[in-house]
Amino acid sequence: MIRVYVYEFCIELTKLPPNLSGLPTTQILPQKSAPRLIYLPSTQEKIRSFHIQAGETYRTGHVTIYFPSEESIQRFWESYRTTFINITAGGAVVVDGTGAILFIWRRGRWDLPKGKGESDEPLAVTAQRELKEETGLDCGPPERFLAQTYHIYAEGGQYILKETHWYLFRCSESRPPIQVQEEEGIQGYKWVPVQEVPFLYPYSYSTIRDMIEYVLREIHPTLS
């Protein structure tokens, strides 16, 4: 399963469940979001156009596109992503000694430390560097790779696909102090107990919510 966002509008690429039937088979995508769509050959350009238009127009929503196999998802995705300018980034999910998760307040949203990779820089190193630059924290190398998120945005008249690789960092201290990087638009921070994390969702980004939900399942399973 792959989720790709334009603003908060998500297209989800997933495998067709064996017990699901009666899906639409048209190659013409609707102008409004539908709960279920199935991918057919030759519809890539229609999907791209619909994805961008829906993101720009509605700013929020969710459409699922079903594929017959995981291999067909990957074939479509590798082709689809080439229609955008691709950049990669490294991101940090930081857990302190009590299990609280670090959030930063950036440009009116709760966010996580992240940034673009430099030339030939491993993305785990990118995540560690961005964490240090944006918060002053030095937690050492990441404990593990978590997952990837994807979002598309417009810049200079072109659409860019940003792929962020997320890594887990642990700090032994309880709520260590942070020095935020104000020149990057960071205005504050908060160590959030996992029980309180969902209260931040309305003030965050969809990719950040997806990443934190993954962490709650994988790192804090009893509290997810």
Cα(178)–Cα(102) distance, integer angstroms: 10
Cα(37)–Cα(52) distance, integer angstroms: 16
Cα(103)–Cα(105) distance, integer angstroms: 7
Let me know: does 86 contact 154? Beta carbons within 8 Å.
no
pLDDT of residue 74: 95
pLDDT of residue 133: 96
pLDDT of residue 178: 92
Distance (Å) of CA 12 to CA 27, 37, 149? 17, 10, 12
Residues of the chain scoring pLDDT < 70: 20-42, 221-224
Enter the tokens of residue 116. 């673009």
pLDDT of residue 41: 52
Enter the tokens of residue 23. 């899906």
Which domains does the chain possess?
A: 2-81 (no CATH), 86-223 (3.90.79.10)
Longest alpha-carbon distance in the chain: 56
Kindly calculate the radius of gyration of the chain based on its CA atoms and give it in whole angstroms: 19
pLDDT tens digits, 183-195: 888 999 999 999 9
pLDDT of residue 67: 84
Concatenated DSSP letters of the chain: -EEEEETEEEEEEEEPPTT-------SSPPSS--S-EE--TT-HHHHHHHHHHHHHHHSEEEEEEEESSHHHHHHHHHHHHTTSEEEEEEEEEEE-TTS-EEEEEETTEEE--EEEPPTT--HHHHHHHHHHHHH-----S-SEEEEEEEEEEEETTEEEEEEEEEEEEE-SSSS------GGGTEEEEEEE-GGGGGGGGGGB-HHHHHHHHHHHHHT-GGG-
